[in-house]
Structure 1
Amino acid sequence: MWRETYRRCVDPELFLDATTIRTLIAEVGSVDLQAAPPDLAATLEAARSWSDEQRSAYRGLIASDAGGSVDALAHSVLRQSAPLASTLGAWLQGMSAPGVFEDETHLRVLALFADDIGVGSPRSSRFDEFKVLAKQRGRPELAVDATELAAEREIRDHMFALPATLFAITRRSDEFAPVIVGVDVVMRAVGMLPCWSALRSEGHHEWARLDLARPTGATDISTPWDVSRAVAEKFCAAGADVRRQVEIGAAWMLSALRAWNELVLDAAGAALHPQRAMEQLIQERAREGAVYHQNFQMGGTSLSELLEQAKTDPAPLLKELAATRMVKPGNADRSSLVNGLIGPKGPMFRVFSTDDVEVISKWINSLDDAEVQPSAAPAVAAPQVPDLKTFEIASATEDGLVPSDVREAYFVLQGRALAPSTRRFAVRYVKRWLAKAKLSVGRTERSLPEEWTPAGLRPWLLDMHDKHGAEFEAGKSNAMPSRAEVIDSTLQLAPLTLIDGSWLQGFTDVGLATTRFGFPLFETYWDELGNGDISINHPKIYRDVLREMDIELAPTGSREFAYDDRFRDESFARPVYWLCLGKLPHAFLPEILGMNLAMELSGVGGSYRTARRFLKHYGFSTHFVDLHNTIDNVSTGHSAWAADAIDTHMRTLSQLSNSTELAPEWKRVRVGYESLAPTTSKIADLIGFRFRTKHRKPRSPDRSLFHHTPVGAS
């Protein structure tokens, strides 16, 4: 089923092989991947024209209704469009990764995504606005997260096809980044989907946040359409092959959107025409009903046989049903089908939902004594579900690499996708790191409290801040390190600092970035990368300091950087831990929450001020440490957000479990906190991990390992 594919693709840790994703793409959009795609400008113009035409089609449908069934149409549109609403902007969620942290074009992509999800506030994404509107229009069952939406049986299975494919593509941005850019620019050109625009035009609600061409106000982006188009142009300028992929993505998205819209338009039309609505209901329910009723005769055959036929053609069954004594044409209240068979005391009570009963009643009321003719409306072809056997997590050809040393691990993990073998490596690395961190819990005064209480972590946070300040004052008289030592320390921290925030990259997934505990973590990530502005991008600022020290480094995502012999091996151990965590946001959620607090609090009031003293003494810029000492503050900064995220997570769990069940989760948070800097002396002991030195797999070229080619890097 498409809904099952959708449910799986919502998982931020899913890995799908490229062949499977191409199979999905081929099913929901008709674009010849071998032929030259249309010019991007032509596709965008076609998208705008199509959008205008379809708005008129929906408005014409509404205007043609003389029976006052606009509410039924609105409910149908909202229900069937909900899965696609869950993807608004989400196709960009996998585009940010450490290897492109300093790439200006990718920073603009991140800015688009941040605007789409309403960075800075929980439940403020475009999809969240759709949920609010669904509630206001009497469809509260649609105001749920994507994982729950898949369980809404009133949504037709094929309405999950395009959303499932969009989510699938986000899981492999290493392979499909230009395609994603093409998808985005077409959706911005369309703006608000025609089906929503028609409802909005009736004056029901102001639905501006569903318009992808308009900003949400969460960032400084004023025209998302212009930003998206500029990003597409940057990608196209990267080369003929990249341009072709962008154009394919745009053409495919328009094709898929047209097919999706036909299905919504068909459902909307059915909502206004009782006969068509009844046909669709019977067709959707025929499979389950055919299992029963072998002994119930109707029109010279069994009801089961009629139901089997109704899977593809419901008209014969409806004709026979209308002729039975159970139906009183024109009067549903007197029809035993409604007030007897499927009523509260009938043998088929609860077989049909309240909405189903309304469809049946309207159909009966529309009948007269004349023979009922089947609807002449042509059937709309739904996308076929590919054989689920093809939906293995990954094929053998994309099993992934197992790094042979810590430097190769750093390089391989720069991207976003985590193939199965690489994932197993990442899980082992994290678990062994955490095993050592567990030994540090409670051994120092800096450990988190033994128990979490509803009072939260703010009092403890202030105590720790005071302690940092006291330690700084006490250390003012300590000897000044030499200039060479300051430079070496700054250099050895580069593999860590140039991926600042990487442990939170999993929180760019829309399902986490908009939650009450996840939104401050995404905002932290957004801050670390400069809020889309390269001039205040933290990795870029750190490189500026290195250049003052006459140190020029290769791009962080390159093999050259990972194998730069100026770095010591141990300088990559903790960064690799961060990179692993960032790709496993569900598997190690409590540990990430704890580690994030430790990291954001680590330098505030103490070591940042110490580092500032050293840098200033030798004439180096203190911008990097000054910036962190302010934005990581314990009142309104990253440290406070980190503590609040933990408290929100723990309070939510406390409402669902007792204190005994809560304790293991808090223990994991405490271990995560210690994992930033466990009290062990040797890095080799810390990771407890011996990389294989024999039978090493051949190294793959950069392209197969890297997230995707940087575009417009500074």
Structure 2
Amino acid sequence: MAEVASVDPETDPPHLSVTLDEAASWRNEQGSAYRELTDSADRTEASETLAHALLRQSGPFASTLGAWLQGMSAPGVFEDEVHLTILALFADDIGVGGPRSSRYDAFKVLATQYGRPELAVDADELAAERSVRDHMFALPAALFAISRRSDAFAPLIGGIDVVLRSVGMLPCWEALRASEGAPAEWARLDLARSTGATDIAAPLDVSRGVAEKFCATDEAARRQVAFGAAWMLDALRSWNELLLDEARAALHPQRAMEQLIRERAREGAVYHQNFRMGGGETLSELLKQAKTDPGPLLTELAATRMVKPGHAERSSLVNGLIGPKGPMFRVFSADDVEVISKWIDSLADSEPEPVPPSAARVPGALPPGLLDRTAEEGVVPADIREAYFVLQGRVLAPGTRDFALRYVNRWLARAKRSLGRTDRSLPERWTSAGLRPWLLDMHDKHGVEFETGRSGDLPTREQVIDETLQLAPLTLIDGSWLQGFTDAGLATSRYGFPLFETYWDELGNGDIELNHPKIYRDVLREMGIDLAPTGSREFAYDTRFREESLERPVYWLCLGKLPHTFMSEILGMNLAMELSGVGGSYRTARRFLKHYGFSTHFVDLHNTIDNVSTGHSAWAADAIDTHMRTVSKLSTPAESAAEWERIRIGYESLAPLPSSTIADRIGDRFLTTPWKPRSQGGSLFHHAPVEVS
């Protein structure tokens, strides 16, 4: 039984620089090991076998490339330069701005080019690929799990990232890339090199800078960075030893056949109770034994008339028993038949050289002391201010998740009652023509409203300042409803990539000077208002904020943490938000701000990047159309209509109208205890209806 690899958190981990030097040395050493392996497989057939084995068994790890960073961005750190840098690294890894453009997507292309299209699937689908050994999933599973607890493991993840980028191209992939005529996609698997999707030129240097900044925070963070780096290198060594063992086994017919028999013995043992082998035991009995020791079965099988040593093409085991007309047709896959054939051919050698199985440890285990922290039940907020504070992080513990579900469902119930009561709702039906024509109509409507209201009275300076202050809890978490789209699978999907790109834009594309929350804080400072960091308790409990100013932000925070549960509603709400001020209220706000001498940068920026032609509004509409086209292909008309209804409700949820009947109003109050979420009214910066109580 393989030992589980781990690093003891009780001992002082090596200094980060020592671990990084070891990582570079290890990469070079393993490069030599893989070159020896490829040299031994210089025949075309053997070379193909080796390539297939390496691609197949490294597939789960490839699916994690960059994904360990997917949970690092959260509203509470929207203005933190270290986390913005991490988001930039992640954006580069997933190829922001295009669907299926991530490093893992490059691996999928390579798998197809090398004749293994079954590996060109989403990460969760790899689990169904039986030829991938269970232990090759251990380290990838640990990395995915760690990514879900960035609140606890942020410095540790920094250590993990810098080690992996120090290694750069995994030695197993470097060996395949070194072959003549290797595809260009290999370069995109090198974590030390940029994919070209962002302005990051040297990811390794950037990652090292992030790790150093974490280390400078305090001693606890320094230890966690060092521990993460040491753990990652230790786990990578063990994972690589297992991969090497699988590759050697694939090139060694006896080992490959033994592995195949172990995998299939359990199901085969159910049959063949009456088929006796030469030694007197039934085939069923030998198969039961083969689950742990396939040697006796293979010895017996090699001695039967079904096997002609050295001549698979003449062996009835291959061309009769398991062939198209045989009684065991389809019991073995084409790859299995290839393994059986190579084993039979190898039997011509009198004494094949034995290759002992590896004693490598299974990588991926984290010490129990670290994992105990994931057992937290989470906080159930008692009031709106606590909700705003608790939801600033990325993690969503069970108790907090239950709260978020209830809050969103209550909000959406009110949004549903608002449908069709104004001329701003989405059309009742979605058509294959898409939303672009409707989008232009709404843009025209905003323009008319702006021109109509130009001669209206200006608000007072105090009113403009107060409105700007009350919008701070909302605007300083701009884009938070899309935070779930940093999940690698969603960020690279056909409908999700423009939503991630929108999120990336809201946070400044890695540049703090373009960061929307930072720009908004600059306006507030011009007005003489200094606020605590958004993720702090002090911010949520700032008495200058009216409680109703926190209600819609809490909805956004809840929604952003439940991207799969409320996918349809998020698509709708995103369009409503991006379209809300374009052409109308942003221009109105500009007039007010300029009149009193305040910067108009924030509203000017949004009126351009949210535009209905090539901006966020257009992307939001296109994401909905892409999603609905997929749904309409796979669903009944009734199911498609139901999906569109959910999107319409999501659109309405940006600013639901007040309940229209006394009964609904009373019901709202009972449903929303201990406090009642209400829609925030129309605002200086967003085109939304005013709710009156």
TM over 0.5: yes
- The answer (yes or no) to whether the contact 2:92–2:195 under 8 Å persists in 1 is yes
TM-score by length of 1: 0.90
**Residue 292 (structure 1) aligned with residue 277 (structure 2):** no
* 1:143-162 alignment, distance < 5 Å: 143-162=120-139
The percent identity for this pair of structures is: 75
> Any idea what the Cα deviations from partners look like across 1:154-179, whole Å, max 9, x if unmatched?
11111111111110111111111111
Residue in 1 that maps onto 2:286:
306
Amino acid at match of 1:161: A
| TM-score of the pair, normalised by structure 2 | 0.93
Is the deviation greater in 39-48 or in 110-119?
39-48
Task: Find the aligned partners of 2:139 and 2:669 in 1 and give their Cα distance.
Answer: 43
Shift of 1:369: 7.5
Query: What are the superposed Cα offsets for residues 410-441 of structure 1, whole Å, 9 maximum, x if unpaired?
Result: 00100111111111110010001000000111
| CA displacement, residues 342-389 of structure 1 (integer Å, 9 cap, x when unaligned) | 11122221111100000100110111284x668332334463999xxx
Q: Is the 8 A contact 1:556 1:562 kept in 2?
A: yes
Q: Work out the CA distance in 1 between the residues paired with 2:552 and 2:42.
A: 68
| 2:21 pairs with one of 45, 49, 65 | 45
Listed one character per residue, the Cα deviations across residues 58-92 of structure 1 (whole Å, up to 9, x for unaligned) are: 11111123543100100111111111100000000
For 1:301, what is the secondary structure of its paired residue?
coil
Is this contact kept in 1: 2:3–2:361, CA < 8 A?
no
The answer to whether the 8 Å contact 1:600/1:642 transfers is: yes
Instruction: Provide, for residues 440-478 of structure 1, a one-character-per-residue CA deviation record: whole Å limited to 9, x for no partner.
Output: 111111110110001000000000000000000000011
Structure 1 residue 685: Cα displacement: 8.4
Q: Does 1:128 align with 2:105?
A: yes
Report whether the alignment pairs 1:379 with 2:358: yes
Secondary structure of the equivalent of 2:329? coil
Aligned equivalents of 1:35, 1:109: Cα separation in 2 = 28
Residues 28 and 210 (structure 1 numbering): CA distance in 2 closer, same or farther, change over 3 Å? farther
2: CA distance, partners of 1:274 / 1:495? 65
**How far off is 1:28 after superposition?**
5.1
1:660 deviates by: 2.0
- Whether the 8 Å contact between 1:604 and 1:628 is mirrored in structure 2 is yes
Which residue pairs with 1:21 in the alignment? none
Native 8 Å contact 2:192 2:204 kept in 1: yes
| Other-structure match for 1:93 | 70
Q: CA deviation at 1:307?
A: 2.4
The corresponding residue for 1:269 is 248
Structure having greater relative contact order (Cα 8 Å, sep ≥ 6): 1
Q: Aligned-pair distance for 1:309?
A: 2.8
Equivalent in 468, 475, 479 of residue 446 of structure 2? 468
* Pair 1:492 & 2:470 matched: yes
Contact 1:429/1:689, CA 8 A, preserved across alignment: no
User: How much has 1:681 moved relative to structure 2?
Assistant: 7.6
Q: Kindly tell me the number of residue pairs found equivalent between the two proteins.
A: 662
Distance (Å, rounded) in 1 between the aligned partners of 2:484 and 2:636: 29
Amino acid at match of 2:408: V
How do 1:340-355 residues align onto structure 2 when only pairs under 5 Å count? 340-355=320-335
Match of 2:33 in 1: 57
Q: 2:234 aligns with which of 255, 271, 296?
A: 255
The CA deviation at 1:283 is 2.0
1:481 aligns with 2:459: yes
Deviation at 1:313, TM superposition (A): 2.6
Partner residue in 2 for 1:587: 565
Q: Structure 1 residues 29, 355: closer, same or farther in 2, change over 3 A?
A: same
Letter in 1 for 2:269: A
Q: Select 1:661's aligned residue among 603, 618, 639.
A: 639
Measured in 2, the distance between the counterparts of 1:92 and 1:611 equals: 37
How many Å apart are 1:684 and its aligned residue? 10
Separation in 1 of the partners of 2:337 and 2:415? 59
CA distance in structure 1 between the partners assigned to 2:568 and 2:172 by the alignment:
41
- Give the AA of the match of 1:647: D
Counterpart of 2:503 in structure 1: which amino acid? Y
**1:328-347 correspondence runs (5 A):** 328-347=308-327
The residue identity in structure 1 corresponding to 2:74 is: A
Structure 1 counterpart of 2:684: none
Amino acid at match of 1:100: V
**After alignment, is 637-646 or 441-450 more displaced?**
441-450
Letter in 1 for 2:5: G
**2: CA distance between counterparts of 1:684 and 1:484?**
35
Runs (5+) with no aligned partner, structure 2:
676-693
The structure-2 alpha-carbon separation of the partners of 1:490 and 1:521, relative to structure 1 and needing over 3 Å to count, comes to same
Q: Which amino acid aligns with 2:613?
A: S
Indicate the residue corresponding to 1:422 in structure 2: 400
Deviation of 1:98 (Å): 0.2
Distance 1:446 1:125, change over 3 A: same
1:18-62 Cα shifts (integer Å, max 9, x gaps): xxxxxxxx9853211111111111111111111111111111111
Find the counterpart in structure 1 of residue 690 from structure 2.
none
Q: Which of the numbers 239, 245, 253 marks the counterpart of 2:218?
A: 239
* Distance (whole Å) between structure 2 residues aligned to residue 189 and residue 668 of structure 1: 46
Tell me the distance in 2 between the aligned counterparts of 1:348 and 1:314: 20
Aligned to 2:169: 192
Query: CA–CA distance in 1 between the matches of 2:329 and 2:672?
Result: 63
Unaligned runs of at least 5 residues, structure 1: 1-25, 694-714
Hey, what's the Cα distance between the residues in 1 that align with 2:266 and 2:99?
A: 41
Q: Does 1:672 align with 2:650?
A: yes
Which residue identity lines up with residue 332 of structure 1 in the other structure? A
User: Which of residues 220, 230, 234 in structure 1 aligns to 2:199?
Assistant: 220
Which letter does structure 1 place at the counterpart of 2:573?
Answer: M
Shift of residue 397, structure 1, vs aligned partner: 5.0
Q: Rate the CA distance shift 1:27–1:636 in 2: closer, same or farther, 3 A.
A: farther
